[in-house]
Amino acid sequence: MFRFIVRRLLQLIPTLFGLSILLFIWLRRLPGGPETAILGERGTPEMRAEIRRNLGLDEPILVQYGRFVRRMLQLDLGTSTSTKRAVTTEFLERFPGTVELTVTGMIIAIGVGIPLGYLAARKRGRMLDHLSVGGSLIGICIPVFFLAYVLKAIFAENLGWFPASGRQDPTIGATRVTNFFVLDGLMTREWDAAADAVWHLVLPGLALASIPLAIIVRITRASVLEVLNEDFVRTAEAKGLTENTVRRRHVLRNAMLPVVTSIGLLTGGLLSGAVLTETVFAFSGIGAFVADSISQRDYPVLMGFILIIAVVYVLVNLIVDLSYSLIDPRVRVR
């Protein structure tokens, strides 16, 4: 297992190297160059020339690339042109909220989707199967922002069961350690703060989980149906193994590989695409911040977002590969 992990980690190096080249080229190909992105359209030629000297854009291209890589390794992503703060600081404050929201959505999607998909496959052609397939189709078709508005209107504004916006009640006065509000409440033993943060995650988590839940249900159902028709399952049943043993050791384990793949892709997608949900619930995550940066042409923020999301995708793929090796040990040999 250790050699497998090391081999996968070494394979990440060319991926990150290629990413650094693409980001470097993108930054140099901005309309009007990086100096225009920083100064805007009203910058004078003298101001642009000064910015180019300060950024080292008048030096050889290899020297510029070496400096760019060194800054990336030091997590120096520049300064936001809209907030005038370090991009790294902005992300450290906002990205934990998106991570909490993504984890909540995926817990709901996985916790409901895999059992429901398995039961739909086992009850193929029956009422549960028809309901799960129809429900998953509806979940894929309904836009996330529309479901978010419906959940907010019913359960927050009309019934008052859940908070309508934000990550936590500001009157609680919770202690900040990591900017993961739930984790901070648990670490500092401020149970009310942790519970309030979880309560704020329920509605946006449900809205964000709708599409991943539908996809996981359909993929689990299709994968389990395929495995149920395999000879080794019929052999296990003919040997007199209990239904729980057949389900746990033969059916679910062999059906999980495509499900794990979809979970990895969906997790990366939620981390990079929770803009609408965060906007509806005024959730202070990275999605809404990046959306504002696009409209304001805040290129340092966009560059940092691309870099961080790409690294997250790489790490998620690594976790997926490790999950493969745990589910099917033959993967480690290959």
Show me where the domains of the chain are located: 94-329
The secondary structure of residue 305, as a DSSP letter, is H
277 vs 54: CA distance, rounded Å? 39
Q: Quick one: tokens of 189?
A: 């033993």
Write out the chain's pLDDT in tens, 334 residues.
667 677 777 777 787 788 778 877 776 676 655 666 666 666 677 777 776 776 666 677 787 788 778 877 777 777 777 777 888 888 888 888 888 888 898 899 899 888 888 888 878 878 887 888 888 888 888 888 888 888 888 898 888 888 888 878 877 877 778 878 888 888 888 888 888 888 888 888 888 888 888 888 888 888 888 877 777 777 776 777 776 777 767 777 777 888 888 888 888 777 766 777 888 887 877 777 777 777 777 777 777 777 887 788 778 877 887 777 777 666 555 5
Count CB-CB contacts under 10 A for residue 140: 15
Q: Quick one: tokens of 216?
A: 């996981």
256 vs 304: CA distance, rounded Å? 34
> Identity (one letter) of the amino acid at 29?
R
Q: By C-alpha distance, which of 92, 138, 296, 118 is closest to 217?
A: 118
269 vs 267: CA distance, rounded Å? 5
Q: H or E stretch including 189?
A: none
CATH hierarchy code of domain 94-329: 1.10.3720.10
Contacts of 141 by beta carbon, 8 Å cutoff, 6+ apart = none
306 vs 185: CA distance, rounded Å? 30
282 vs 276: CA distance, rounded Å? 10
217 vs 141: CA distance, rounded Å? 14
For 26, 50, 190, the CA distances from 38, given in Å and listed in that order, are 15, 12, 43
